[in-house]
Structures are given as structure tokens and as C-alpha cells.
């Protein structure tokens, strides 16, 4: 069991002011794998006051000093990668090999990249008779989701600390144990008291208390668009800075001259990563109408290769979803797709054979989807792909942009320049060309209702800096 009975506030492990606890469920066995405190607004206030006290001195440390702490945290993450990967494979359900590489590997990379970014960031520049200085924004509230739990924490906490900010973190109550591993590492490296604080709890209580707190200068939130709107409303009352990374319904545009076999096979993988529990998943595959039947065959073959099973079984390519609620929601979307007349190519709403325990969903592909169907407009967050036919390139761009979201996308073409031309027309924060790999140093974030602000790399660091002019 991974029970944690204390919060991390002001450099110490302390009991919550409340008595509630939250059960953490193993997504494969459906058993309780640990418990964490159900934090209160009073806990948030204590953490914010500690962060506010610590800000004065932490914000004045040299970049070398901050880089040294970030390096130590990176080394701590490195030493515990196996523990982190195993915990997240249990909490979220990602197969262990991928969990090692992504769920444990990316946070380490994000913390590790900060020293180089600190060196490259211009904190002072002369413009005419003004000295322009960049300073830390202040106390930052970080509210993070469960799908890539420690990666999303690192994408906020590492640059915030690098910038000289202090932090109050609320991890998702669905997958919080990995955050305690980070807090233990931070405690071991001796980060000054109050610079990093951890308060677990539920969004409507702890999340709202952070977003509304008058002494929080900025809130950085990753999660659903609905919850992001609520964070914005609360933050507006004290006019604090807000960074939001929200939902997506990303289009993968396969052009007429693309290598269809490669494009469709890769696209299915990009949709099903982490059992589809990825905000930037390429969930709408746009193919020329003349190639629809061929694309369906390739997609069915690819999807059926994603064997669902226990994340610790090396033959499993698709883990469970994170919770019963999530599984039921995804199955509801699959039923809706059938009801609205989409063609079910493979998969369906029934549990995968032989997997009655665990929050499993069959890898599912729909075809002949029209873009006004529910499964083409709403974020499903499960292993469900919608194949949408189009007749002209202009129509493909129109369909791709016909969504409230704008987080990611893909374009496949025989001619890479042609692919880039189409990519520039997509109203979205990231576009991969011919399956281009995820770059953890490139800016990540969305257009439209996918949010505002950017994470990762130098843009992620700049998010936590204020700009001041000294007129000389």
C-alpha cells in the first residue's frame, strides 16, 4: 500500500487540518492501492502563506543557485525512475515499458533541461533609456491532471522554480502518489522551506481555494475545458495571471499523396497512446474519400494489434483507463457513435474478452464519421478513433478547424513542403509533419478553447516571468 497521511507544507510533513482521506484505486485490479489526505481550504492557506514568506529570499537567489537545486532534483528523479514508473502504471494504467520512458522519463528531462534554459534566458536587456528586467511572477498555484501526472507537474513546477517563483501544488486526486515521490525528493535535496508545497484534495475544494486565493499571483492549470473555465472565473476576482492547458480534438490530415499504410498505422498509435488518455491525441483521422475503404482496413489491422491487458504484462499494448467513471464515459461515447450512424470498423462498448476486472475498453475505430457527430466534436479520452472522409484539401482544412479546440494536429503528405503549407493553416498549437516526434523542448499549448499560455522549453519558463522597465 502507498498510504500517505501528511501534506508537505513549509518544508515539513504536516497533518491536514481536516480528517478526510481519498482512496487511490489501482486501475487494473480495481483495488485500493493507497490513501492520501483530503486537504482543506485551511491547508491551502497555510501552504500559500509559506510560499509567500519564502518568495522574498527565493526570488533573489542567483540563477546558478536555482540551477543547482534543479540538478539535485533531476538526480533524485533519476534514482527513483523505477518506482515512479511502477506507481504510475498502477495509478493510470500505462504499460510499464512506456511508463518508464514517458511517465518517469519526461519529468526527469524537464527538470534536467532547466539549467540550460536558465543560461539561455535573457533576464535583463537595454531598450533605449530603459533597462528591461524579467522577474518571477510570485506565488504560483499548480493544478495538475491524472493522465501524465508527474510530467504535467514537472512542466509547471520545474520552470516556476527556475524562474524564482514559489509553488503550491495540487495534483489530481485520481493519481496523486507520484507527487509524494517528488515531494520526498525535494525534501531530501534541501530546497528552502516554503518554496515547494503539496496539498492533495479534490478540485472543487482545494483547486478552487488555490485559484481564488488573493496571495496566489498566478495559477497554472491543466485539465478539462469545463474546469479551466471555472479556474478562470475564480482567478478573475483577484486579476491573477492564468495559464491553461485544456482539452483537444486533434485532426490528423492525411493528404492524397501520403504513404497511406504508414500514415494510418502511425495515426492509430497517436490516438491510442496511454489508452487514448492524452489531451493532444490525434483522435480525428481525415482521409481522402477515394481511400476510405483502404484506410479502414489498415486502421482495423493496426487497432487489433493493441492488445489490452495488465500494464505489467509485456504482451499488453493497451492498459486500462484510469477509473470506472472514465471507462463508463468512454463506453457511452462508443454507444453514441453507433446511435448517430458512424460505421463501427472494430472494437465496441463491450469489455475486452477475458478482462472483466480493470477499467478496460476495447480499441475502437469508427469510419464514415461526419464532423458534426458527437464522437467528432467531444473529447472522448479513450482509445476511440474517428475516420472522417473529405473530398478536397480545402475541405480537409475546414473540417480540421471546425472544433472549439486547437491543441495539436498532424499532416501527412508525400511532399513535406506541401504538408507544412497545410499545417500552417491549422488553428492549433502543435502540428506533427509525417509523424514527427514529440519534442519536450518545443512550446506546448493551445489555440481557442484548448487554453492559453505555453509549457515546456524556453516558452514554458517565460510563462512564469513578469516584465519590468527601469527608465534610466
Cα–Cα distance, 48 to 9 (Å, whole number)? 9
Q: Which of 38, 91, 173, 245 is catalytic?
A: 245
- Select from 184, 156, 151 the least CA-distant residue to 2: 184
How many CB atoms are located within 10 Å of the residue 393 CB? Answer: 17
165 is a catalytic site residue:
no
Secondary structure class of 387 (helix, strand, coil): strand
Secondary structure class of 345 (helix, strand, coil): strand
Alpha helices in 24-80 (DSSP H): 41-58, 63-79
Q: Are 123 and 130 in contact (CB under 8 A)?
A: no
Cα angle 409, 146, 379 (rounded to 5 degrees) comes to 40
**Grid cell in block for residue 113:** 533541461
Query: Treating both helix axes as pointing N-terminal to C-terminal, what angle do 393-401 and 416-425 enclose, rounded to 10 degrees?
Result: 40
Secondary structure class of 278 (helix, strand, coil): coil
Sign of CA dihedral 113, 115, 117, 119: negative
- In the numeric block, the cell 472565473 is attached to 233
* Strand ranges across the sheet with 465-471: 124-127, 130-136, 465-471
- Select from 429, 368, 427 the least CA-distant residue to 400: 427
Cα–Cα distance, 225 to 283 (Å, whole number)? 17
379 is a catalytic site residue:
no
Contacts 24+ apart (CB under 8 A), 440-445: 440/106, 440/109, 440/110, 440/113, 441/113, 444/155, 444/245, 444/280, 445/243, 445/245, 445/407
Q: Are 464 and 453 in contact (CB under 8 A)?
A: no
Which segments within 177-224 are labelled E, that is strand?
Answer: 196-198, 218-222
Q: Which of 142, 165, 271, 279 is catalytic?
A: 279
Q: How far apart are the first and last CA of the chain?
A: 60
Q: Which residues are catalytic?
A: 245, 279
Amino acid at each position: 500500500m502507498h498510504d500517505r497521511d501528511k501534506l508537505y507544507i513549509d518544508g515539513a510533513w504536516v497533518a491536514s487540518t481536516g480528517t478526510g482521506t481519498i482512496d487511490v484505486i489501482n486501475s487494473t485490479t480495481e483495488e485500493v492501492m493507497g490513501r492520501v489526505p483530503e486537504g482543506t481550504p485551511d491547508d491551502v492557506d497555510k501552504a500559500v502563506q509559506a510560499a509567500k514568506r519564502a518568495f522574498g529570499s527565493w526570488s533573489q537567489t542567483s540563477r546558478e543557485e536555482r540551477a543547482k537545486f534543479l540538478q539535485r532534483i533531476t538526480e533524485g528523479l533519476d534514482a527513483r525512475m523505477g518506482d515512479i514508473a511502477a506507481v504510475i502504471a498502477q495509478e493510470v494504467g500505462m504499460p510499464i515499458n512506456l511508463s518508464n520512458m514517458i511517465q518517469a522519463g519526461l519529468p526527469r528531462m524537464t527538470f534536467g533541461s532547466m539549467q540550460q534554459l536558465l543560461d539561455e534566458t535573457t533576464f535583463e536587456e537595454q531598450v533605449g533609456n530603459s533597462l528591461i528586467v524579467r522577474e518571477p511572477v510570485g506565488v504560483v498555484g499548480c493544478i495538475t491532471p491524472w493522465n501524465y501526472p508527474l510530467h504535467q507537474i514537472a512542466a509547471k513546477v520545474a520552470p516556476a522554480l527556475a524562474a524564482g517563483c514559489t509553488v503550491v501544488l495540487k495534483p489530481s486526486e485520481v493519481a496523486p502518489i507520484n507527487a509524494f515521490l517528488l515531494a520526498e525528493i525535494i525534501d531530501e535535496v534541501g530546497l528552502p522551506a516554503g518554496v515547494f508545497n503539496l496539498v492533495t484534495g479534490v478540485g472543487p475544494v482545494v483547486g478552487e481555494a488555490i485559484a481564488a486565493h488573493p496571495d496566489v499571483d498566478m495559477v497554472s492549470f491543466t485539465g478539462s475545458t469545463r474546469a479551466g473555465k471555472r479556474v478562470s472565473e475564480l482567478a478573475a476576482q483577484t486579476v491573477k495571471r492564468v495559464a491553461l492547458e485544456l482539452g483537444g480534438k486533434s485532426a490528423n490530415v492525411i493528404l492524397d499523396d501520403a504513404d497511406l499504410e504508414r500514415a494510418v498505422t502511425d495515426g492509430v498509435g497517436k490516438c491510442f497512446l496511454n489508452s487514448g488518455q492524452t489531451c493532444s491525441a490525434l483522435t480525428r483521422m481525415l482521409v481522402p474519400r477515394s481511400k476510405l475503404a483502404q484506410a479502414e482496413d489498415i486502421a482495423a489491422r493496426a487497432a487489433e494489434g493493441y492488445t489490452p491487458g495488465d500494464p505489467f504484462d509485456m504482451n499488453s499494448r493497451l492498459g486500462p483507463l484510469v477509473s470506472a467513471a472514465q471507462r463508463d464515459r468512454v463506453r457511452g461515447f462508443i454507444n453514441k457513435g453507433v446511435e448517430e450512424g458512424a460505421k463501427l470498423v472494430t472494437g465496441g462498448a463491450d469489455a475486452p474478452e477475458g478482462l472483466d476486472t480493470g477499467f478496460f475498453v476495447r480499441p475502437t475505430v469508427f469510419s464514415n464519421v461526419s464532423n458534426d457527430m458527437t464522437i467528432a466534436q467531444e473529447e472522448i479520452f479513450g482509445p476511440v478513433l474517428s475516420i472522417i472522409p473529405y473530398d478536397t484539401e480545402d475541405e480537409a482544412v475546414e473540417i480540421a478547424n471546425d472544433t472549439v479546440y486547437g491543441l495539436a494536429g498532424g499532416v501527412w503528405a508525400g511532399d513535406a513542403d506541401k504538408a507544412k503549407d497545410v499545417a500552417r493553416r491549422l488553428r492549433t498549437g502543435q502540428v506533427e509533419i509525417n509523424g514527427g516526434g514529440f519534442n519536450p523542448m518545443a512550446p506546448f499549448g493551445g489555440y481557442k478553447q484548448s487554453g492559453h499560455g505555453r509549457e515546456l522549453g524556453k516558452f514554458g519558463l517565460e510563462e512564469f516571468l513578469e516584465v519590468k522597465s527601469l527608465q534610466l
